[in-house]
């Protein structure tokens, strides 16, 4: 049985379409295309620090018990750790107890 090659999943962002998406790459040199416009000019690796209001709304829904944690991860496209950290901070911001 052959060993599975580790896959690299990298998040990219298209500045034209304002969408982010994951690309699974086996080869670094492979050109990254935006799934929406099919172009690669506006593609940049995706680094985000600040949470948008839309993302915080989803997080608030989770804090209120309206959606599952997985929904936050899925909807924001952020890592589980990032969502956990932001949740703790959000709870403090709201003045709630964790």
Taking the complex as a whole, the smallest distance from the CB of residue 46 to Zn ion amounts, in Å, to 13
Q: Which is nearer to Zn ion, 6 or 38 (CB)?
A: 38
DSSP 6: P
Taking the complex as a whole, the smallest distance from the CB of residue 25 to Zn ion amounts, in Å, to 18
Question: What are the structure tokens assigned to 28, written together?
Answer: 């670094």
Taking the complex as a whole, the smallest distance from the CB of residue 32 to Zn ion amounts, in Å, to 11
Q: Which is nearer to Zn ion, 10 or 88 (CB)?
A: 10
Q: What is the number of other CB atoms lying within 10 angstroms of the CB of residue 34?
A: 21
Give the ranges where the chain is alpha helix by DSSP (H).
53-63, 69-76, 80-93
Residues that bind Zn ion (CB under 5 A): 14, 16-17, 34, 36-37
| Three-state DSSP state, 89 | helix
Q: Which is nearer to Zn ion, 19 or 63 (CB)?
A: 19
């Amino acid at each position: 049985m052959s060993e599975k090659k580790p896959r690299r999943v990298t998040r990219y962002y298209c500045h034209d379409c304002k969408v982010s998406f994951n690309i699974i790459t086996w080869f670094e040199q492979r050109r990254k295309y935006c799934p929406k416009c099919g172009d690669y000019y506006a593609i940049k690796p995706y680094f985000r620090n600040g949470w948008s209001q839309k993302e915080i709304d989803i997080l608030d829904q989770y804090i209120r018990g309206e959606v599952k944690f997985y929904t936050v991860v899925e909807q924001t496209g952020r890592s589980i750790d990032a969502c956990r950290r932001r949740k703790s901070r959000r709870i403090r911001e709201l003045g709630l107890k964790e």
